[in-house]
Amino acid sequence: MKITHGALSFDYEDGALRRVCLGGVEVIRGIAYLVRDRDWGTLVPQISEEVIERTRICYRARFESQGAALVVAVVIDFAEGLNFTAHAQADGDFETNRAGFTVLHPITGVAGAPVLVEHCDGTRRHAQFPLLIAPWQPFQDLRVLTHWLGGWQIACRMEGDAFEMEDQRQWGDASYKTYVRPLARLWPYQIADEARFDQAVRLHWQAATVTETALPDPRASGIFPQTALVITAEEAVLAARRPADLAVVKPQRLLCHFDATRHGLAELQAFAALQSVYDAAYDLELIARCDGDLDFEFSNHAHDLAVSGLRVASIMVCPAVDRQSTPPGSEWPPCPPLAEVYLAARKAFPAVSLGGGMVSFFPELNRKRPPVAMLDFVSHGLCPIVHDASDAGVMQTLEAVPHITASARAIIGGKAYRLGPSTIAMRQNPYGARVIPNPRLALVCMTDDDPRHRTEFGAIYAMELAAALVGSGVEVWTPAALYGPRGVMDWNGRSYPLARVLAGLAARAGEPVEAELLPNVATRLRFAGAEMTTNLARFVRTELA
**Strand 124-128 relative to strand 114-119: parallel, antiparallel, unpaired?**
antiparallel
Q: What is the distance between the terminal CA atoms of the chain, rounded to a whole angstrom?
A: 42
Q: One digit per residue, pLDDT tens: the chain, 545 residues? A: 999 999 999 999 999 999 999 999 999 999 999 999 988 888 999 999 999 999 999 999 999 999 999 999 999 999 999 999 999 999 999 999 999 999 999 999 999 999 999 999 999 999 999 999 999 999 999 999 999 999 999 999 999 999 999 999 999 999 999 999 999 899 999 999 999 999 999 999 999 976 666 666 778 999 999 999 999 999 999 999 999 999 999 999 999 999 999 999 999 999 999 999 999 999 999 999 999 999 999 999 999 999 999 999 999 999 999 999 998 878 899 999 999 999 999 999 999 999 999 999 999 999 999 999 999 999 999 999 998 898 988 988 999 999 999 999 999 999 999 999 999 999 999 998 899 999 999 999 999 999 999 999 999 999 999 999 999 999 999 999 999 999 999 999 999 999 999 999 999 999 999 998 765 545 788 998 788 887 644 444 444 32
Q: Class of the 2-207 domain?
A: mainly beta
CATH assignment, 225-510: 3.20.20.80
Q: Do 166 and 40 touch, CB atoms closer than 8 A?
A: no
Q: What does the pLDDT read at residue 535?
A: 62
Please give the Cα distance from 114 to 127 (Å, whole number): 6
Residues 413-450: pLDDT tens digits?
A: 999 999 999 999 999 999 988 999 999 999 999 999 99
Strands of the 540-544 sheet, one edge to the other: 219-223, 512-518, 522-526, 530-535, 540-544
Q: Do 221 and 513 touch, CB atoms closer than 8 A?
A: yes
Q: Matching CATH topology for 2-207 and 225-510?
A: no
Residues 335-363: pLDDT tens digits?
A: 999 999 999 999 999 999 999 999 999 99
Nearest CA to 168 out of 97, 110, 218 is that of: 110
How far CA 274 is from CA of 3, 341, 400, 485, in Å, comes to 56, 29, 36, 21
- Burial of residue 346 (CB within 10 Å: 0-12, 13-18, 19+) is middle
**Could you write out the DSSP letters of every residue in 458-477?**
HHHHHHHHHHHHTTS-EEEE
Nearest CA to 515 out of 499, 502, 500, 531 is that of: 531
Residues 148-167: pLDDT tens digits?
A: 999 999 999 999 999 999 99
CB atoms within 10 A of CB 48: 10
Please give the Cα distance from 43 to 194 (Å, whole number): 19
Q: What does the pLDDT read at residue 539?
A: 43
How far CA 221 is from CA of 217, 437, 476, 510, in Å, comes to 11, 39, 16, 13
Residues 192-251: pLDDT tens digits?
A: 999 999 999 999 999 997 666 666 677 899 999 999 999 999 999 999 999 999 999 999
Name the CA radius of gyration of the chain, rounded: 24
Q: Do 142 and 163 touch, CB atoms closer than 8 A?
A: yes
Q: What does the H/E/C string look like for 356-377? A: EEEEEEHHHHHHCCCCHHHCCE
CB atoms within 10 A of CB 66: 12
Domains of the chain, residue spans: 2-207, 225-510
Q: What does the H/E/C string look like for 26-95? A: EEEEEEEEEEECCCCCECCCEEEEEEECCCEEEEEEEEEECCEEEEEEEEEECCCCEEEEEEEEEECCEE
What's the pTM?
Answer: 0.91
CB neighbour list of residue 542: distance below 8 Å, 6 or more residues apart: 504, 530, 531, 532
Q: What does the pLDDT read at residue 130?
A: 97
Q: Do 264 and 304 touch, CB atoms closer than 8 A?
A: yes
Residues 93-108: pLDDT tens digits?
A: 999 999 999 999 999 9
